[in-house]
Structure 1
Amino acid sequence: MSKPLAWDDLRLVKAVAEAKGMAGAAAALQVDHSTIFRRLGALERALGTPLFERRRGGYDLTPAGEEVLAAAERIDSEVHRLERRLTGKEIAPAGEIRVATADSLLMHLLTPLFYRFRATCPAIRLDVVIGNSALNLSRRDADIAIRATDTPPETLVGRRIGSIAWALYGRGQDRQARGEAFIDTADWVALSQDMASLKVVRDTRQLQPERLVYRANSVLALAEAVEAGIGIGHLPCFIGDVRPGLARLSDPVRDYAAELWLLTHQDIRHAPRIRVFMDFIAAELVPLRPLIEGMSGQFQIG
């Protein structure tokens, strides 16, 4: 080719194909008939192949012309999509978001928020991955992580929601029955050692071995054990304070607090579906900050 293809060349082919002739294409492009004839001839000479067959009923595309038309239609669709986006008329973000989080956060905080998000953005599907291990967002194990961490990876960007407070909890009925001696005599439950990165787990090593009767590798499972009366244990306040069967037995322990983060990889943070999800969930979590930070419950012993 003597010159590269331009968008105007593709528009010309599209107009002639849709009008099946020069006159209709000239009207669509608002130029005269001779200009269409001259530009189409020059384009075919540059390409070295005819794009149309001139028939009695009009202009029919050749195989080469069909390829050019297909490209023109794709580009035309993208141009219109860009125009809609820039003028605020883009359709709602769509697609799938893979969200990694912990079972306790999902059950006690996030599921109602996900419901409201889906009602607002029904074209976005959520794929929720539950686990305590940090998934690799760089490898796209997940698009977004909602996690408790004091050291988010440098490759991730996001928002700090607040500080997750932990306090000591036991069954309310046991506290009432046994009074102030309850903590001194109760059995204990705790998280498993495979979660030893949490200070609350490391501190259980100070307990007498015979009093630590139950371990679980899930915060949600630990809360179930406390509520069942197996023993007392430290729980996030957003779990302990909303379970009517539990009583808070201490003030929040400052050393056990962990930051709650909403994180994504920096390469996809501007994707419309990611941005709208991050904005929505962050706004929904802010009113829950008193619960997350342990300010909604009371120290109930004594």
Structure 2
Amino acid sequence: MKNLNWDDLRIFVRVARGGGLSAAAGELGSSPATIGRRMLALEQALGRPLFVRRQTGYELTGDGRTLLGKALAMEAGARPIEDWLSASGNHPVVRISAGTWIANFLSENFSRIWSPQDPFRIAFKTAEARLDIAHREIEIGVRNQRPEGANLAARPLPDAAYAPFRARNHAPQSEENWVAIAPEDASTASTRWTSVQDGLVIAVWANTPRTLYDLIRSGAGKGVLPCFAGDRDPLLERAGDEITELRHRQWIVMHNDDRHRPEVRAIIERMATLINAHAPLFSGERPMGNG
């Protein structure tokens, strides 16, 4: 019984149910000749005939009926495992690394980059620190500069602009107060900007961009945000002009090998389409109330 495998038994079940080769071939997307050869090989491996072959179809022998009962039991036992694989482990996961504001934007527009019909899942890795694409910590990263590694590929995105924002229709404690990311927690030019300006009164320090955002919305003071985050919030308004030195190009970055995977390629295309469609928002051309 060496060479006996589950695939042959699955084919056997379909031939037995359909009463012949043609029905099984149509169900399996194969040819009747191929199915016939597989059944001959199965009979040889078992050392006993399974079918009486007639012009009208295949009729099971006594051994064939016995094997069918056992094969059906195996099929029923395997179905929970196949369902489990189909529900989770059989779907590849695409990991996306992005800073707080890009991750927030992608989350709000999630239906534009993924649907329940997609044969893959998505895992967001939201962090200001960069995860290592070259060593496959993630599949896709959104970065503020083009990568230099030879094994990395990049796709350009629209510029991101930055400006100071404050709470709309909210009396601030002081027009001079600012909120900022603490220097020891600042990892980007935009989070460091407030702390290195002379003469600013920083009323509150935060250690994460999200806390900074909540403080600005509460009226604690002005703070620097990317325009695509601040300008789409009706509770915020610009508190000054664009900070031009913070403007930068964005990039979708991926490993050269991963970019050819269908699921990674699909997500890259959808992300690029989504962000390019909002290029004026990202470049600071659509402040709230200005059309």
TM-score (norm 1): 0.62
1:171 matches 2:161? no
- The answer for the alignment partner of 1:207 in structure 2 is 198
151 and 198 in structure 1: CA distance in 2 versus 1, 3 angstrom threshold? farther
Any gaps of 5 or more consecutive residues in structure 2?
1-7, 16-20, 22-30, 52-89
Any gaps of 5 or more consecutive residues in structure 1?
1-13, 31-35, 41-50, 59-92
- The answer for the alignment partner of 1:113 in structure 2 is 109
Give distance in 1, aligned partners of 2:265 and 2:138. 15
- The answer for the alignment partner of 1:242 in structure 2 is 232
242 and 120 in structure 1: CA distance in 2 versus 1, 3 angstrom threshold? same
**Corresponding letter in the other structure for 2:231:** D
123 and 207 in structure 1: CA distance in 2 versus 1, 3 angstrom threshold? same
Q: Work out which of the two has the higher radius of gyration on C-alpha atoms and give 1 or 2.
A: 1
- The answer for the alignment partner of 2:145 in structure 1 is 150
SS at structure 1 position matched to 2:169? helix
- The answer for the alignment partner of 2:96 in structure 1 is 99
State the 1:229 CA deviation: 1.1
**Corresponding letter in the other structure for 1:293:** S
Conservation of the 8 A alpha-carbon contact between 2:112 and 2:274: no
Conservation of the 8 A alpha-carbon contact between 1:248 and 1:299: no
State the 1:251 CA deviation: 2.1
Calculate the aligned-residue CA RMSD, in Å: 4.0
State the 1:271 CA deviation: 0.5
207 and 174 in structure 1: CA distance in 2 versus 1, 3 angstrom threshold? farther
Runs of 4+ in 1 over 4 A off after TM superposition: 27-30, 51-58
- The answer for the alignment partner of 2:246 in structure 1 is 256
- The answer for the alignment partner of 1:233 in structure 2 is 223
State the 1:225 CA deviation: 1.1
Conservation of the 8 A alpha-carbon contact between 1:269 and 1:275: yes
Aligned counterpart for 1:139 among listed residues 135, 152, 156: 135
Conservation of the 8 A alpha-carbon contact between 1:96 and 1:127: yes
SS at structure 1 position matched to 2:108? helix
1:44-59 alignment runs, 5 A limit: 52=45, 55=48
56 and 161 in structure 1: CA distance in 2 versus 1, 3 angstrom threshold? closer
Conservation of the 8 A alpha-carbon contact between 1:200 and 1:256: no
Give distance in 2, aligned partners of 1:256 and 1:282. 22
Give distance in 1, aligned partners of 2:50 and 2:91. 43
Give distance in 1, aligned partners of 2:283 and 2:232. 13
Encode CA deviations 1:257-294: one digit per residue, 9 max, x unaligned: 13222221111110011111111111111111111110
- The answer for the alignment partner of 1:189 in structure 2 is 179
Conservation of the 8 A alpha-carbon contact between 2:158 and 2:282: yes
State the 1:139 CA deviation: 2.2
**Percent sequence identity over matched residues?**
22
Give distance in 2, aligned partners of 1:233 and 1:263. 29
**Corresponding letter in the other structure for 2:282:** I
**Corresponding letter in the other structure for 1:201:** R
Higher helix share: 1
99 and 29 in structure 1: CA distance in 2 versus 1, 3 angstrom threshold? same
Give distance in 2, aligned partners of 1:243 and 1:53. 70
SS at structure 1 position matched to 2:165? strand
Conservation of the 8 A alpha-carbon contact between 1:250 and 1:299: no
